[in-house]
Structure 1
């Protein structure tokens, strides 16, 4: 898996969010998108995930220009390769922990799910409703979902925001492990501890 960003730009309501952004990401890398609030970190992350359309330039994934993708192609990309860990957790609170990992009621009780929940520190809690989880536990569910899917690209928006030290360190370690297994992990973050763990830094102040 390889992602190349070639000279992309985004305007919102006539305001330049960023321009002339170019960089590359390769298999096994953890990449931080940094900068102050309002600089376009989340917008860039959404562009990389084809949630937001760029106004100029192109994004290449494995040699394919994904900025030209139709909705069907985007859906297939998300189904086959990618997952998004949201700042607000992206959890279905009235569903079980196991369902939130698999998003498939037929796979909830598999051995694979039990192993992943143990890995993220939620062993034995597969039947609990997600609403009872703490913020840190919900964030770990997002990572468990990525591990279950065997995602080759993981997008994460402020994955350590509002977490206590213990949960922050655990989330950072889990993301690092995903990268070591070959995923591209791309993060929009303010967290200096998380930035220091990354292989590459994209400073939005440059754009």
Structure 2
């Protein structure tokens, strides 16, 4: 899905955070939102993901103006098309890895439901095979990033919004996570990442300087 922001401006707490930002994020590519701390990278990411309203400008998805989407329409967009990997990972530590991916469980709470073949496939793709029954709390930071991506792959998200994914990762995990994001984009998905990591930026096909 093509996501475009046209002349986006946002103020938070009386301070202008974004001023007339225009950006185009194409499917099949990773777009990096870059710039110094406080420039509005995360704010722009949240606006494009319909998590934060804009004061001025328009947001288009495949040419349709979604700027004034209702709460119900935004929820449908998040459910049907979008996945988010934010700095807290969005992982439920006291639930199993399998549950965190499928978000489905039997009424008795003992057996994870969902497409089991697809679950096995995404676990293999993200290097978490054989660990579906472990609690997510057992995972390292890099493994939680991979778990969040596994959930996005499982739901077949069209758009992936990522905020500072490599900030606390060691070199090996950073490389693995970047490769997984690149592979996801190469499947025709739209990947938008707010980052200051030069290795992550170099892996992206498009670089957008926020606030420039």
Band the TM-score falls in, shorter-chain normalisation: over 0.9
Partner of 1:127: 133
Aligned mates of 1:137, 1:182 — CA distance in 2: 24
Q: Are the counterparts in 1 of residues 101 and 151 from structure 2 also a CA contact under 8 Å?
A: yes
1:94 is aligned to 94
Q: Aligned partners of 2:204 and 2:157: how far apart in 1?
A: 18
Unaligned stretches of 5+ in structure 1? none
Query: May I ask how many residue pairs the two structures share in their alignment?
Result: 206
In structure 2, stretches of 5+ residues that fail to align are 106-111
CA contact 2:100–2:151 (8 Å) conserved in 1: yes
Q: 1:158, CA displacement in angstroms? A: 0.6
TM value normalised by structure 1: 0.97
CA displacement 1:57-90 (0-9 Å, x = unmatched): 0000012111110000000001110000011211
TM-fit CA distance, 1:107 = 3.1
Deviations 1:114-155 (A, max 9, x none): 111111111100000001111111110011011101111000
Map Cα deviations across residues 148-205 of structure 1 (whole Å, 9 max, x no partner): 0111100000111100111110100000001000110000001100100111111114
In the alignment, is the contact (CA less than 8 A) between 2:101 and 2:148 conserved in 1?
yes
Q: CA deviation at 1:108?
A: 5.0
Does structure 1 residue 156 correspond to structure 2 residue 162?
yes
Separation in 2, partners of 1:50, 1:31: 17
Q: 8 Å contact 1:34–1:190 — kept in the other structure?
A: yes
The alignment's C-alpha RMSD in Å is 1.1
In structure 2, distance between residues paired with 1:158 and 1:125 = 26
Instruction: Tell me what 1:47 maps to.
Output: 47
Map of 1:189 onto structure 2: 195
Contact 1:99–1:108, Cα closer than 8 Å, also in 2: no
2 CA distance for matches of 1:36 and 1:185?
21
TM-score, normalised to structure 2, is 0.94
Q: Is the 8 A contact 2:145 2:177 kept in 1?
A: yes
Is structure 2 residue 26 aligned with structure 1 residue 20?
A: no
